[in-house]
Structure formats: C-alpha cells, structure tokens
C-alpha cells in the first residue's frame, strides 16, 4: 500500500514530469537539427564505397599489440604501466582472432548517411540518454528522500507504525520511478529518432562489423563479447539504466543523510565533479591500476559511453569494465544508502 502511494507521489510530481518532458523536448530538438543538417542519401551513398567495403576484412591479420604500442607511444608509457596496457591487449588478441575467423566484414549499409545515422544513434543519442536519465534519477531520488521533510510531514510519518522504515519503501519506489521515467525519456526519444530517420539497421549483424572502426578512432570496434547490433543497443540501454540507478542510489543516500535537498544535491554535484577532476588530472597515470579503478566511476562511464563493451582504450585495464563499474559502485552506493538509513534511524527529528 505504502509503495503504491509513494510511487504515485513521485510519478505525478509536477517537477519530475516537467523534467521528463524537457529531456524528451531536448532530444527532439537535437534530432530535428540533426535531421535538417543531414546530407541527402544521394550525395553520400556512394556505390564504390559499398563495393570497397564488401572486400575489406576488418580483423584478418589484425594485431591487438599494435593498438597497445600506439597507446604506449601516445602516452609515453613506461615500466609497469606500459606492461599493464600490453597485457590488456594481449588478452584481447583471442577475441580479434575469433572475429577474424568469423570473417567479419563491413555491412553493405555501412556507407555515407547510414554511417552518420549510426553515429547519431549509438554515439550521440545514447550518450544523451544515459546522462539525462542519470540526472532524472538523481533528482527523483533527492525528491523522494526529502519529500516528507520538505512538507513537514516527517514527524507524523515517523511516529506512525511504519515509522522510519518508510525510507526503505521510498528507496524501492525511487528505483521504480527512475526506471519508469527513464523508459519514458528513452522510449519517446527512440520513437522520434526512428520516425525522423528512415533507414534499415542490420540488427542481427555483429556490432564489430557494423562499426568497423571505433568512433573517432582508427582502430576497429572490438567488443569483448560477440554482440549483434540489437544486443548492443539493448546492452547499452541496460548500462544507461544501471547508471541511472547508481545516481538514484547516491542521490537517495545524500537526501537521507543530509535532509536538505540543496545540501544533498550539492554533495552529489561535488562527488561527480571530483570523479571527473581526478580522472582528468595527472594524479593517476594512464596504464596504472589506480587510473583504471578510478575509471569505473559513473562519471567516467558516462563520458566514455562510446567505449562500453570494448577495450576501453589505454585508461581501462579490465574487460567488461562497464559492468564491473556498475557492480562496484552499486555496492558502494548501496552501502552509502544503508549507512544513511541507519543514521536516520538514530537521528532526532526536531
């Protein structure tokens, strides 16, 4: 019963509904601008590119070590840090060999505008999604955690039979509401995308074939696991959802701990800024375990959404880092929620 009422409170909150609508409108605007700027298919869909692509084998004879060495030269890595990068790419070689054996080739669709639209969907829109739903989840959590305090109903709710345990129900409601609002943003934006851009996506083709090079890079798009384009889209949406839940967890922990929506929001902003600043600084050298471990944070994952499921460049030393990051920070942020809840249980309500 309480779950239902709490969920209704959040899903009917004018603030959250407005924010959700704003996210969809922002995506709509972005897609309309991209649609207007897109070159016509006749100009870019060059038959010679298609034919050339058909003969190109992406992974045949490709050496992961060459990627490692290019990074080592670029970052001027030495010693153990260089060895870490080499070891990571050595581990990637069997994956490349497996893909080469499968004779992965660029798809016929892969030329001209279609490629641009892939970049638009998987490179830009997906990044927007993950950031928007993360922010939405953070605000949902903050609102949920401080709802009673903001309305002065904390004392009557905490003096009821459910008491301060209502905060646990609110946590589940926050995660549910975050999922619902995220699905609304993602669903509406994808609908707009597919309505505006009429093209065929080779859903069942291997994603490494469709994206024959990583976005903005010269190396192939090498995923640790074999993923079709459809699987890659779902998996990326899954990671976006996971990141949204991470934001919900930390927002809820901050809201429960600080009891002030402004202080809690400020603490979350500080935390994410710290994640980014440390990652950008030279405190943690590329190729070090510390840099790799730091890169598991949600902020780094957001900023590098294009590398999910791939090697993660030289900064990331571990396979499947996006799932590793999600698991690690789920545990960390869930512990923060648990700690904040136990503080609340002992806190005096004045």
Partner 1 sequence: MLSLNRVSKQYGNFMALEEIDLEFTQGVYALLAPNGAGKTTLIKMLATLIFPTKGEILWNGDDIIALDAAYRDLIGYLPQDFGYYRNHTPREFLRYMAAVKCLKREQVAQRIDELLDLVGLSDVRDKKMRKFSGGMIQRVGIAQAMLNNPRILILDEPTAGLDPKERVRFRNLISSLSKDRIVILSTHIVSDIETIASSVILIKDRRLFAQDSPGSICQQLNGKIFETDAVDDLDIPHLLLTERQENGQTITRFASEQGSGEARSVTPNLEDVFLYVYRDEER
36 burial (CB, 10 Å; 0-12 / 13-18 / 19+) is: exposed
- The residue within the footprint of partner 1, chosen from 136, 166, 253, 284 (CB under 8 A), is 166
- Binding part of the chain for partner 1, among 102-110, 162-170, 175-183, 279-287 by CB under 8 A, reads 162-170
Task: Count CB atoms within 10 A of the CB of residue 333.
Answer: 22
Site string for partner 1, 1-40 (x = CB under 8 A): xx-xx-----------------------------------
Binding span for partner 1 by CB under 8 A among 144-152, 178-186, 223-231, 283-291? 144-152
Find out whether 145 and 264 touch, Cβ atoms under 8 Å. yes
- How far apart are the two ends of the chain, measured CA to CA in Å? 27
Judged by CB under 8 A, the residue of 43, 48, 61, 151 near partner 1 is 151
What are all long-range contacts of 271-276, with beta carbons under 8 Å and residues at least 24 apart? 272/298, 272/299, 275/299, 275/300, 276/300, 276/303
Q: For residues 6 and 116, which CB has a smaller minimum distance to partner 1 in the complex?
A: 6
Backbone angles phi, psi at 47, to 5 degrees: -60, -35
Shortest reach from residue 14's CB to partner 1, in Å:
9
Closer of 55 and 348 to partner 1 (Cβ): 348
| Angstrom distance (rounded) from CA 245 to CA 9 | 19
Is 171 one of the binding residues for partner 1 (CB under 8 A)? no
Q: In angstroms, what is the minimal distance from the CB of 156 to partner 1?
A: 6
Site residues (vs partner 1, CB under 8 A): 1-2, 4-5, 148, 151-163, 165-166, 348-350
């Amino acid at each position: 019963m309480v779950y239902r009422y709490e969920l209704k409170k959040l899903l009917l909150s004018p603030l959250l509904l407005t924010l959700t609508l704003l996210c969809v409108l922002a995506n709509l605007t972005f897609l309309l601008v991209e649609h207007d700027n897109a070159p016509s298919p006749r100009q870019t869909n060059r038959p010679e590119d298609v034919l050339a692509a058909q003969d190109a084998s992406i992974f045949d004879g490709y050496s992961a070590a060459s990627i490692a060495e290019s990074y080592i030269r670029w970052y001027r890595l030495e010693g153990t840090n260089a060895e870490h990068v080499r070891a990571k790419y050595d581990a990637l070689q069997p994956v490349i060999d497996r893909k080469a054996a499968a004779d992965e080739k660029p798809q016929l669709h892969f030329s001209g505008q279609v490629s641009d639209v892939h970049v638009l969907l998987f490179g830009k829109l997906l990044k927007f999604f993950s950031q928007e739903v993360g922010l939405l989840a953070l605000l949902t959590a903050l609102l949920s955690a401080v709802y009673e305090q903001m309305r002065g109903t904390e004392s009557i709710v905490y003096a009821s039979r459910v008491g301060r345990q209502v905060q646990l129900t609110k946590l589940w409601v926050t995660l549910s509401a975050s999922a619902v609002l995220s699905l609304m943003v993602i669903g509406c934006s994808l609908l707009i995308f597919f309505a505006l851009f009429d093209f065929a996506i080779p859903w069942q083709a291997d994603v490494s074939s469709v994206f024959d090079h990583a976005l903005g890079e010269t190396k192939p798009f090498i995923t640790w696991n074999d993923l079709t384009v459809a699987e890659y889209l779902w998996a990326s949406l899954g990671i976006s959802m996971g990141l949204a839940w991470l934001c919900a967890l930390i927002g809820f922990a901050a809201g429960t701990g600080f009891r002030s929506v402004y202080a809690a929001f400020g603490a979350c902003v500080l935390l994410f800024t710290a994640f980014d600043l440390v990652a950008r600084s030279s405190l943690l050298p590329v190729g070090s375990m510390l840099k790799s471990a730091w890169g598991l944070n949600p902020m780094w994952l957001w900023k590098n959404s294009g590398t999910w499921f791939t090697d993660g460049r030289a900064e990331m030393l571990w396979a499947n880092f996006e799932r590793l990051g999600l698991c690690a920070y789920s545990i960390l942020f869930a512990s923060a929620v648990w700690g904040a809840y136990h503080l609340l249980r002992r806190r005096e309500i004045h």
